[in-house]
Amino acid sequence: MPQRWMKTLLAMVSAAVLFTACKGTYSNDEPLPEEFTPSLFITSKNEFLYALDPNTGVKKWEYYVGDNVQATPIILGEFLFLPTQDTLVKMDAKRGTVIKKYRFPKENFTSFVSSPTGEGTMVYQGSTNGNIYALDANIDTFKWIVNTGAPIISSPILYKGQLYVVNNSGKIYSIDVSNGATNWTYTLGGTTTSSPAIAEPYLFVGAEDGKMYAINLSDGTKKWDYQTGGMILSSPIAYGGNVMFGSNDHFVYCIDTVAAKERWKYETADRVISSPVAARQTVYIAGLDYNMYAINIIDGTEKWRFKTNALIRSTPVLYDKTLYFGSFDKSMYAVDTNGYLRWSKSVDGLVESSPIIWDLSKTYYPAISGLSAY
């Protein structure tokens, strides 16, 4: 009996030792850090903001805005700022979480249509009540507010400490960002929703009188204007000594910025409301005829066209030799610079706004935002 008891005890001890030896052990190391990759941000008429992988179109996250969003967001640091109908939403651009919603003064307030611009912690946002707001997002206070007297539909542009704003009545303001003081104003010959572009020493902006204007940055005087055959709703770009834009007369124009002479014009099958993007002597622009066009900057000849299933109002953004744009066929498209489709992605709503791409260090904007530079 004692011998049997001893054998049982030894077996129990052996099992305990074996169990202890096989028990998992874990180090006290910190968990692996999150990994982040570039993101494409786009809104659609279904009231969502989407973050997509620009390489594949796969959705990373989505945010229900609850409003119709027409503006393009901006990135400052690691924060995304999205204007909605009556709110500016500050989000973590990597994760899609809301950090703060800025409510604007209610007096005479209507809505946001234009895209903001910004630098450092400062966000500059135009409103349909005619105000341009300078918001310090670091301390959540308004540095200044300037009323321009008419709705602001186009996006402001920031350049060398000056903010250039064009209201819907066609009045341009040059504003000192340090204090909100107006340096000069100039009134165009027609109303405008076109966002300005800058190439020293001029500011370029189109108007509904069909003219493209070149305005001296120093004093706000007109250098020249160029007449097209239709309203100009397209925002221009300045590239290689040229200013390029679309018109409601169905043409895409390339104008010499010094001589104010037409280098070429290219005819599409419908109005051109979208704004261009340019790289490597090629300008890319969409028409309401469903097509995205690639045009040779040297002579204005067509290189290729890519057709979607509905009209295109969205302005393309160029990143890593790929054009990204939305269509009224409820899809986002990624088309390479040779005109071949990389991917398309349904976003369950008409796409009127324009995308941006953030590669974690730099943001790529469309011309309509007032932030693109060439």
Q: Tell me: the pLDDT tens digits for 19-69?
A: 444 445 555 666 667 788 999 999 988 999 999 999 999 999 999 998 888
User: Is residue 213 in some structural domain?
Assistant: yes
In a domain, 365, yes or no: yes
β-strand pairing of 237-239 with 322-326:
unpaired
* Residue 360 backbone zone (phi > 0: left; psi -120 to 50: alpha; other: beta): left
DSSP code at position 108 = T
> SS3 for 129?
coil
Q: Would 3 be classed as within a structural domain? A: no
Where are the strands (E) in 232-349, listed by range? 237-239, 242-246, 251-256, 262-267, 277-279, 282-286, 291-296, 302-307, 317-319, 322-326, 331-336, 341-346
Is 17 among the domain residues? no
Residue whose C-alpha is closest to residue 243's, from 221, 231, 226: 226
CATH label of the domain that carries residue 84: 2.130.10.10
Nearest to 336 by CA among 347, 320, 351: 320
Closest to 358 measured CA to CA, from 2, 144, 119, 51: 51
Predicted pLDDT of residue 372: 54
Q: Are 271 and 250 in contact (CB under 8 A)?
A: yes
Residue 5 belongs to some domain of the structure = no
How far, in Å, CA of 186 to CA of 166, rounded? 9
pLDDT in tens, the chain (374 residues): 445 544 544 455 454 444 444 445 555 666 667 788 999 999 988 999 999 999 999 999 999 998 888 889 999 999 999 998 888 999 999 999 999 998 776 666 668 888 999 999 999 999 999 999 999 999 889 999 999 999 999 999 999 999 999 999 999 999 999 999 999 999 999 999 999 999 999 999 999 999 999 999 999 999 999 999 999 999 999 999 999 999 999 999 999 999 999 999 999 999 999 999 999 999 999 999 999 999 999 999 999 999 999 999 999 999 999 999 999 999 999 999 999 999 999 999 999 889 999 999 999 998 766 565 43
Say if 28 falls within a structural domain: no
Number of domains comprising the chain? 1
pLDDT at 106: 64
Closest CA to 315 of 80, 154, 199: 154
Cis peptide before 201 (omega within 30 of 0): yes
State the residue range of the domain holding 285.
37-369
Q: Are 68 and 80 contacting, i.e. CB atoms less than 8 angstroms apart?
A: no
Assessment of whether the complete model's pTM goes beyond 0.85 = yes
